[in-house]
């Protein structure tokens, strides 16, 4: 991508800043994207993946950072959105690389606060914390388990979807795609209210373990999107819902924890045309960032009540979409962007 094309992309999507960083001693390479700080410091995790190319890593940072702005605005937090991606590649000295990344975060002087995302381990967060205080670490008793908070938020969004669709939670069939930390917590939470759980994961042993724990069944990954169910909960990587997969869905609701679950914005319209209720990902999966913002920015102790508001937001977005005859994705985005334009501490409904 030519330099001018990059700048045009940033301008079109409203990004404030993107940093390409590297550290030759550790092998660190990656991107840090700041989408918006209009409402407050940018919040966003760091992920480490084996990207096919640097260009795709750059695109991921842009897409995820914008989604974080929408997430924080919709949750009415005094914060904006950012994201960091690290290229996992041969020769990477992991501990030194994350310490170097911490220095990048520290150099932002509080404009960016980070935490765990895909591929990041507790030891990586400890390494970041050796260089900066602007990182949320797992195991902090005051912060709590971010994965649990995320899953609880998704459960509140799903409860709203059940109400909107006229489905009783007890006996509702839920397919959870992805049995990692968040997917596992979501399975346990939903099983407690009587949902019938099926779990799919590329790691078959992990799927079977979670399924056994909640009295559910494990599915082959290829069947996750085609199994008949009341609700599908994508809790793995994004981009799984596109024109082809949506045509094969046998779910009444899509509500999960994965970021950027739609391949394109048009896929939200495809879901609506099929009569499938979609909970926008950045609305449903905001529990973790809500808890992180409360702890890092607002100094609050652990609270579950703020997560319950995700239920009300889902109801509001669904009704807004119905009134304006638009998709829930577009309704949520309009609401979030209006709040961003209004700036810090102001609301737009």
36 DSSP β-pair partners: 81
Q: Are 248 and 198 in contact (CB under 8 A)?
A: no
Q: What is the CA radius of gyration of the chain?
A: 19
Q: Taking the mean position of all CA atoms in its chain, how far away is CA 128?
A: 21
Extract the tokens encoding 51: 């990207």
Q: What is the largest CA-CA distance in the chain?
A: 57
Q: Cβ(80)–Cβ(156) under 8 Å?
A: no
Active-site residue, selected from the candidate residues 83, 142, 309, 346: 83
Residues 21, 38: Cα–Cα separation, whole Å: 24
For β-strands 277-278 and 251-254, DSSP reports them as: parallel
Question: What's the CA gap between 115 and 95, in Å, rounded?
Answer: 16
Say if residue 17 is exposed, middle or buried (CB neighbours under 10 Å; 0-12, 13-18, 19+): middle
Question: Residue 204: which of 229, 190, 225, 223 has the closest Cα?
Answer: 223
Beta strands 80-87 and 42-43 are: parallel
Q: What angle do CA 9, 17, 62 make, to 5 degrees?
A: 50
**Is residue 142 annotated as a catalytic residue, yes or no?**
no
- Active-site positions read 83
């Amino acid at each position: 991508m030519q330099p001018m094309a990059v700048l045009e992309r940033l301008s079109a999507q409203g990004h404030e800043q993107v940093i390409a960083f590297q550290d030759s001693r550790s092998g660190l390479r990656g991107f840090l994207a700041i989408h918006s700080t209009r409402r407050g410091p940018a919040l966003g995790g760091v992920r480490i993946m084996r990207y096919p190319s640097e260009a795709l890593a750059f695109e991921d940072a842009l897409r995820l950072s914008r989604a974080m702005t929408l997430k924080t605005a919709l949750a009415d937090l005094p914060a904006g959105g950012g994201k960091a991606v690290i290229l996992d590649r041969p020769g990477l000295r992991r501990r030194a690389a994350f310490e170097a990344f911490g220095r990048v975060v520290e150099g932002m002087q509080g404009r960016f606060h980070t935490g765990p995302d895909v591929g990041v381990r507790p030891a990586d967060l400890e390494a970041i914390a050796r260089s900066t205080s602007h990182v949320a670490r797992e195991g902090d008793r005051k912060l709590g388990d971010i994965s649990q908070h995320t899953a609880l938020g998704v459960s509140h969004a799903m409860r709203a979807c059940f109400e909107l669709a006229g489905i009783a939670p007890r006996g509702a069939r839920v397919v959870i795609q992805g049995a990692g930390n968040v997917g596992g917590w979501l399975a346990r939470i939903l099983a407690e209210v009587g949902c019938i759980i099926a779990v799919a994961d590329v790691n078959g042993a992990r799927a079977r373990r979670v399924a056994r724990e909640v009295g559910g069944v494990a599915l082959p990954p290829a069947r996750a999107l085609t199994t008949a169910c009341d609700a599908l909960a994508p809790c793995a990587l994004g981009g799984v819902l596109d024109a082809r997969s949506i045509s094969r869905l046998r779910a009444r609701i899509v509500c999960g924890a994965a970021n950027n679950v739609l391949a394109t914005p048009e896929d939200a319209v495809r879901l609506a045309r099929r009569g499938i209720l979609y909970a926008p990902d950045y609305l449903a999966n905001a529990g973790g960032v809500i808890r992180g913002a409360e702890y890092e920015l607002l100094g609050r102790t652990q609270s579950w009540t703020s997560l319950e508001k995700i239920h009300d937001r889902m109801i509001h977005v669904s009704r807004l979409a119905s009134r304006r005859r638009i998709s829930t994705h577009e309704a949520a985005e309009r609401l979030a962007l209006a709040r961003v334009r209004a700036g810090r501490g102001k609301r737009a409904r």
